[in-house]
Structure 1
């Protein structure tokens, strides 16, 4: 019988992703990457997703205080091989050192859009309408 396929990450993928995220955070905090854009920007790593074979790590980053994230993401990807080498001492237990790819984390923008929608006059009006007299009767 074949294994069912799911899109959810395994516990191992989640655990290794968190280890890689912590190691990446340390490398970036110590200013080990000699790139002016990276050195002068505070970078938050919100999540690292591992491929099923643990050979590719996709890091979702949010440069703080910078309007245009594209340049920072490009700089991180330009230095990805160097960063991968700096991760090696911290991730000795891994059989293969994963290739690191950096992507812009847009989740904060999505949360902001949802928040704006929930605070819009139309939604507020509809919520007030639902709290009307019909709700008192249990309907």
Structure 2
């Protein structure tokens, strides 16, 4: 029961909420448009925080994802200072941004399931010549 609400989990939740607001409202870099924070992992010693981000519209290419991460890493100092003003911690973790591919993987899996269901429906389709009168 104590592990459910550990300090690092609570800090991760607060950081995720505040970083999402900071990126959306205070960051003016065009490379970082439409980015959402999907998850934050904070180490137990609070030295590092891995921030997993994704874009709502997805990325056109691998280069667009790298540019977005470069923009976020360039703004990491600004975001860390702004986060320190909003969240009162003795040590503010160093921010490390990563691209989260789970959303794209989920869309791919959904597409595969839809295709499999369509194939099964085609196989089980009754003979159109029989009438139910």
TM superposition score category, shorter chain reference: 0.7 to 0.9
Q: Which residue of 2 aligns with 1:21?
A: 16
TM-score, with length taken from structure 1: 0.71
Residue ranges of structure 2 left out of the alignment (5+ in a row) = 125-133
Give the C-alpha shift of residue 114 in structure 1.
1.5
Q: Distance in 2 between matches of 1:83 and 1:71?
A: 17
TM-score, with length taken from structure 2: 0.74
Q: Which residue of 2 aligns with 1:36?
A: 30
Point out the more displaced range, 102-111 or 61-70.
61-70
Question: Aligned in 2, Cα 1:51/1:124: closer, same or farther, shift over 3 Å?
Answer: farther
SS at match of 2:49: strand
Q: Which residue of 2 aligns with 1:115?
A: 110
SS at match of 1:120: helix
Aligned residues: 117
Question: Aligned in 2, Cα 1:42/1:119: closer, same or farther, shift over 3 Å?
Answer: same
Residue ranges of structure 1 left out of the alignment (5+ in a row) = 1-7, 130-139
SS at match of 2:80: helix
Q: Distance in 1 between matches of 2:115 and 2:47?
A: 44
Q: Once superposed, what is the RMSD of the aligned Cα atoms?
A: 2.6
Question: Aligned in 2, Cα 1:123/1:63: closer, same or farther, shift over 3 Å?
Answer: same
Question: Aligned in 2, Cα 1:13/1:103: closer, same or farther, shift over 3 Å?
Answer: same
